[in-house]
């Protein structure tokens, strides 16, 4: 606990107030910056995953258009065509 002395304006008396010790402004901003960086990293991961999902869903949808073979060969073939084993 730290003590802060302040001067009263009315009688000129000195008051003593006891306040709990707080983290410095630099420590609090460092913690906030780290949280913000983690939040931004998660946002980037979510955006990349969403873009990949849109890309592959577009490929899968293309297999079922008029010219695609997905209509004749089925969903299992279309998924196998979009996600070949050699990619993994």
pLDDT tens digits for range 25-59: 555 556 677 777 788 889 999 999 999 999 999 98
In a domain, residue 37? The reply is: yes
Please enumerate in sequence order all residues whose Cβ is within 8 A of that of 17, keeping only pairs 6 or more positions apart, or say none.
3, 4, 6
- Domains in the chain, number: 1
Give me the domain span that covers residue 45. Answer: 26-87
Query: Does residue 73 or residue 35 have the better pLDDT?
Result: 73
Question: CA 77 → CA 37, 40, 62, 72, 83, distances in Å?
Answer: 42, 38, 13, 9, 10
What pLDDT shows up at residue 18? Answer: 59
pLDDT at 45: 94
CA dist 38 and 30 (Å) reads 12
Residue 16 lies in a domain: no
Q: What pLDDT was estimated at residue 43?
A: 92
With 60 as the cut, is the pLDDT of residue 88 above it?
A: yes
Is residue 49 a part of any domain in this protein?
yes
Q: What confidence tens digit (pLDDT) does each residue in 11-23 have?
A: 555 555 555 566 5
């Amino acid at each position: 606990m730290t003590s802060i002395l302040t001067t009263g304006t009315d009688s000129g008396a000195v008051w003593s107030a006891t306040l709990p010790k707080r983290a410095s402004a630099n420590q609090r901003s460092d913690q906030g910056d780290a949280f913000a960086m983690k939040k931004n990293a998660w946002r980037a991961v979510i955006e990349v995953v969403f873009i990949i999902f849109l890309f592959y869903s577009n490929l899968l949808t293309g297999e079922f258009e008029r010219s695609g073979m997905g209509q004749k060969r089925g969903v299992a073939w279309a998924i196998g065509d979009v996600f070949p084993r050699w990619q993994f």
